[in-house]
Structures are given as C-alpha cells and as structure tokens.
Amino acid sequence: MSSLKKTDQCEQSGVYKSTSNRREGGHAISIVGYDDSKNALIIRNRWGVDWGENGFSYIDYKDKSGFGNQTWLFEVPAMNSVISMESPLDRDFISGAFSLKSTNNISSAAKVRYTVVRADQSVVATYVDDEKASSASLDTLSMTDGKYQIRVEVLDRNDRTLAQSTHQYFYVVNSEPELNIALNIAGIDSAKELSGRIELEVSAKTSSVP
C-alpha cells in the first residue's frame, strides 16, 4: 500500500482517500474487514493506538492509490475443538499442592484427563476429572525436583479421546534454596598499594535450578 501523504485527504467520516494519484514509499498495513455503510475497507496500521481510531482507520473502496505489488491473504479456520491449559502455564515453576486447571469448548465432553510425565516420557501420574469441572489436584511433594510435561485430553462417556491439548512443560521446585558464601583472604598481598590490590575475594554458590 502506498504511504499516506500530506496531499491526501481524510474525510470527516474517517475514510482515507488519495487525491494525488501517486504511489510513494513502501508502507504496509493490514486489511481486517469492511464497512459497506462507509463504502470502505477497515485497516489496521502499525503506528500504535494513538493513530486513527485506536490504531484502525478506513480506506475508500475506490481509492485512487490502489494496492501495492505484494498482497497476502491469511485465512484462519474455525476452531471447533479448543483445549486451553490455565494452570500451570507453559514453563511455570510450581511447588507443594498444586491445582491443575483447563477449559474447553467441547459440548460432548464428559471427562478431562491430565497426564503428567517426566522428561524421559515415563508417566508420573494420571488424574481424571469426571465432573467436568476441568480441575484436579497435583501433589508435587511426592515428586523429585525437575522438568515435567503435562497433557490434557477431553473424553466422552465411553472414555474415547475427543481432543488433546498441545504438550506443555513445567518445573517442580520443592527443595529449599541455598546460598553459600566463602571469603578468601589468603591471596591478599598487604605490601601492594591499596588502590591496586585485591582486598577481598568472595565466591558464591547457589542451589541449582532444574
């Protein structure tokens, strides 16, 4: 799309229409809809919400400036089966008794099954919620600290899988953090000038994070 120029006009209705009939620059915008009442396309610019109407504006159907040489169309298909993991979030750090939560839009869902596996894919625990509350309790105190993966499946009344979420990871950290500080004064040379010598050496060691 050609750049908006000072010689162009924007009507009181907020519809942009070129009056110069020239193409300049290489600015890009997104066409996100249309409004027949304004005879205009709805566009989204990339100059923030302070531009136009919260970042959006209109371009007249018959705008003289036309469109650039490169135009792309992106079509997003309707999502009939959606599972969303709400807790834990991907790569969360959790500890103690933790509540697993998810949501889905599958009307025929009867159960929700959570499967927790280790990094080597061995199953740690499986929880089945048969009340469609989409939540379960996970006791991480019985698990070693480290990285885990969680899968969520929506089941029908016959325990058949209707949909499955993408895999997410989380980290269990129940051990108390440690910080050790060691002072080393053996290597200090008191004969050197104070401004040029090492007066104190400190080394710190913390507990590892999985």
Domains of the chain: 1-75 (2.40.50), 83-172 (2.60.40.1220)
Given a cut of 60, whether residue 5 has pLDDT beyond it is no
Given a cut of 60, whether residue 8 has pLDDT beyond it is no
Q: What is the mean pLDDT of the chain?
A: 77
If one compares 143 and 195, the residue with the highest pLDDT of the two is: 143
- Whether 14 and 58 have beta carbons less than 8 Å apart is answered as yes
Q: What pLDDT is stored for residue 38 in this prediction? A: 86
Q: What pLDDT is stored for residue 171 in this prediction? A: 93
Average pLDDT over residues 186-191: 66
Q: What pLDDT is stored for residue 88 in this prediction? A: 92
Average pLDDT over residues 54-76: 72
Q: What pLDDT is stored for residue 194 in this prediction? A: 64
36-50, 123-137, 194-208: least confident range: 194-208
CB atoms within 10 A of CB 4: 19
Q: What pLDDT is stored for residue 127 in this prediction? A: 83
Q: What pLDDT is stored for residue 147 in this prediction? A: 92
Q: What pLDDT is stored for residue 116 in this prediction? A: 93
Q: What percent of the chain has pLDDT over 70?
A: 65
- Whether 111 and 129 have beta carbons less than 8 Å apart is answered as yes
Q: What pLDDT is stored for residue 43 in this prediction? A: 86
